[in-house]
Amino acid sequence: MAHSPAQEMADKVAATILRSGRTKASVASAAGIPHTTFTRKINGHTEFTVGEILRLAEVLDVPPSTLTPSALLAVAS
């Protein structure tokens, strides 16, 4: 079963955090996203905003495309 774009983005954020060696809580805090909001988003219940993805990418020191769903990247190219 294919993931929704929101779930794919949440999975990419979670995987990037894991690779960074940081905790989800520390990344959420550094990106200015309240813990409860971040938890809903990382679990795929609500979507990350563009601004949140940009802040997360900055905090995680990765290009925003690392956290972007493949469907959006395909449209952009």
Q: Specify the pLDDT at position 1.
A: 44
Q: Specify the pLDDT at position 74.
A: 59
Of 74, 42, 28, which Cα lies nearest the Cα of 65?
74
Block residue for tokens 């940081």? 22
Top pLDDT among 3 and 6 is at 6
Q: Specify the pLDDT at position 28.
A: 97
pTM for this predicted structure: 0.88
Please answer whether residues 14 and 42 qualify as being in contact, where contact means their C-beta atoms are separated by less than 8 angstroms.
yes
Please answer whether residues 48 and 13 qualify as being in contact, where contact means their C-beta atoms are separated by less than 8 angstroms.
yes
pLDDT(2) > 70:
no
Across residues 46-72, what is the average pLDDT?
Answer: 92
With cut-offs at 50, 70 and 90, classify the pLDDT of residue 50.
Answer: very high
Block residue for tokens 């769903």? 69
3-state secondary structure of 22: coil
